[in-house]
Amino acid sequence: MQDKPVIGVTGPTQGGTAAWLFTWLALWRAGARARRIHTQKRVPLDRLDGLIIGGGADVAPDKTDPLPIEDMPSAEEFKKERGLRLRDLILAPLIFLVRWFTAASTVRADTARDEMEKELIRAALDRQLPLLGICRGAQILNTTLGGTLHQDIRNFYVDKPHVWTLLPKKEIAIAPESHLAAVLSTTTAKVNSLHNQAIRELGRHLQIVAQEQHNDIVQAIEVTEQPFCIGVQWHPEYLPQVDRQQKLFRALVQEAKKRKCSMHEAPSPSKPLNQDGLPLP
């Protein structure tokens, strides 16, 4: 039986356990093995078949800056939300509690992680390694390629309040001809929202493929010259109950499998021969 593809998953050195566990679960369900990567635990890129640049401290609440209780959806809001199922009502509070108890008590900025991930992104793009950026990961992908970020998006929410939620409540529009639309099999979706930064100026070779419907905040980007390189502003790993969101992980793993097979099938470079027609040592 063929070995499962190995997908590297970046995260903070301290904390980030919830994101890691739910990403591990999504990759396991998709048929891949996950390798955790942080500044104290690096993995050579040649040992990976794909890469996920994960979310992190710049947008996620931690124990030094917890999510205010008033921002958590109330029981009445849960009941009013159309399309929510019992599994949503059970999973969202559980995921929130896991994130709360495994969050790092550190400052938001993590320049060492920034530099590590930028190096990984450059190398992955150079090798055409399948890559998925999640929330912070999409933002780092953009800045690595020369783009900029809005540091605080609260001013974009005038007519409607800024939604901070683990539940799929934020509506986005997806470009019909995009790779993302093909992966998700839709041009509209509802996603969760755990960010206070967003893409401002687009980096090189990138295109916007999803935006928030009410204010055009960028929700997804793609690198146009790569077989698979998508960055999403939301957290699909925290939506294990939504099959459409799990397609992102399945598509990444399928592309990693294809690349793994092609690498194995590629003929090894022939060694130069000596005058007797034998390979040189």
Residues 38, 179, 195, 235: which is the catalytic one?
A: 235
Q: What is the pLDDT of residues 36-57, one digit of tens each?
A: 999 999 999 999 999 999 987 5
Q: What is the pLDDT of residues 195-235, one digit of tens each?
A: 778 899 999 999 999 999 878 889 999 998 899 999 999 99
Region 63-67: mean pLDDT is 33
Percent of the chain at pLDDT > 70 equals: 69
Residues 117, 212, 222, 237: which is the catalytic one?
A: 237
Mean pLDDT of the chain: 80
pTM as predicted: 0.79
61 or 217, higher pLDDT: 217
Q: Which of 1-5, 109-113, 151-155 has the highest mean pLDDT?
A: 109-113
Residue pair 141/118 in contact (Cβ under 8 Å)? The answer is no
| Residue 84 pLDDT greater than 60, yes or no | no
Instruction: Based on the residue annotation, tell me whether 135 is a catalytic residue of this protein.
Output: yes
Give the model's pLDDT for residue 216: 81
With CA atoms as reference, report the closest residue to 98 among 40, 7, 4, 18: 18
Instruction: Based on the residue annotation, tell me whether 237 is a catalytic residue of this protein.
Output: yes
Give the model's pLDDT for residue 90: 61
Structure tokens at 54: 């994960």
With CA atoms as reference, report the closest residue to 136 among 56, 196, 199: 56
Backbone torsions φ then ψ of 223, nearest 5 degrees: -90, 120
All domains of the chain, ordered by start, with CATH?
A: 6-263 (3.40.50.880)
Residues 135, 212, 222, 229: which is the catalytic one?
A: 135
